[in-house]
Amino acid sequence: DAKTTQPNSMESNEEEPVHLPCNHSTISGTDYIHWYRQLPSQGPEYVIHGLTSNVNNRMASLAIAEDRKSSTLILHRATLRDAAVYYCILKTSYDKVIFGPGTSLSVIP
Amino acid sequence: ETGVTQTPRHLVMGMTNKKSLKCEQHLGHNAMYWYKQSAKKPLELMFVYSLEERVENNSVPSRFSPECPNSSHLFLHLHTLQPEDSALYLCASSQDVGGGQPQHFGDGTRLSIL
């Protein structure tokens, strides 16, 4: 079973920020939090990852709760190209990876 | 350009056929993976290779046989498949198998079993 839980779907208006939540209450000290997204007919695309501190890159920001039991992926300005399924996964040093069903994000023009 | 190339993109085969899926990565990575994505199901990790040695086999039926001849190439040999094996097969690579290493995915091979 997946070690993370996410809402099945979310909607956002174009050019507005989007906050995608993820719960991982059983996270261990060695688990990294990774986010991927998948567009139709494509393989998953890496978005961002972190361990304890918040992270920023050109695609998104990752906010990690102090107790690490939850995290939020932040897209600062949603575009139509951001419509995808977003996966939050935990990844240990041995690389055991379990994907859940993810969050299907719709962006409304 | 993802850096991970999978061929063929689509494959239709009968249950008695033998075929192979190919994955090639141009990223200089040392770890490679096979995933299965069935309709309306999450991605399932099948096999993990690190430095050309298999390090993970998630109870995959023996009709799926992986091969990693070098760190840039990964194959999935298929034989005597069942209709429920119809799925999108994804290959990925990462610098190593460490938890902090992101995976780079190909666009997959869509496999249909007649």
Q: What is the pLDDT of residues B60-88, one digit of tens each?
A: 999 999 999 999 999 999 999 999 999 99
* β-sheet bridge partners, residue B109: B89
**CB-based contact (8 Å) between B86 and chain A?**
no
pLDDT of A2 reads 64
For residue B89, what are the CA distances in angstroms to A59, A82, B65? Answer: 26, 23, 13
- The rounded mean pLDDT for chain B is 92
Average pLDDT score over residue span B21-36: 95
- Distance in Å, alpha carbon of B110 to nearest chain A alpha carbon: 9
pLDDT of A94 reads 59
- Distance in Å, alpha carbon of B98 to nearest chain A alpha carbon: 4
pLDDT of A65-92, one tens digit each? Answer: 999 999 999 999 999 999 999 999 998 7
Model confidence at A93, pLDDT cuts 50, 70, 90, reads: low
pLDDT of A95 reads 58
Beta carbons of A45 and B105 less than 8 Å apart: yes
CA distance A77 to B30: 35
CA distance B46 to B59: 8
For residue B102, what are the CA distances in angstroms to A34, A95, B98, B99? Answer: 8, 10, 9, 8
Average pLDDT score over residue span B20-37: 95
Q: Which residue in B6, B10, B43 has the most chain A C-beta atoms within 10 A of its own C-beta, making it the best mutation to test that interface?
A: B43
Q: Which residues of A93-107 are buried (b: 16+ CB within 10 A; e: fewer)?
A: eebbbbbbebbbbeb
Beta carbons of A30 and B99 less than 8 Å apart: yes
Q: Reply yes or no: is the peptide bond before residue B69 cis, omega within 30 of 0.
A: no
pLDDT of B90-105, one tens digit each? Answer: 999 999 888 889 999 9
Q: In chain B, what residues touch A28 (CB-CB under 8 Å)?
A: none
**CB-based contact (8 Å) between A41 and chain B?**
yes
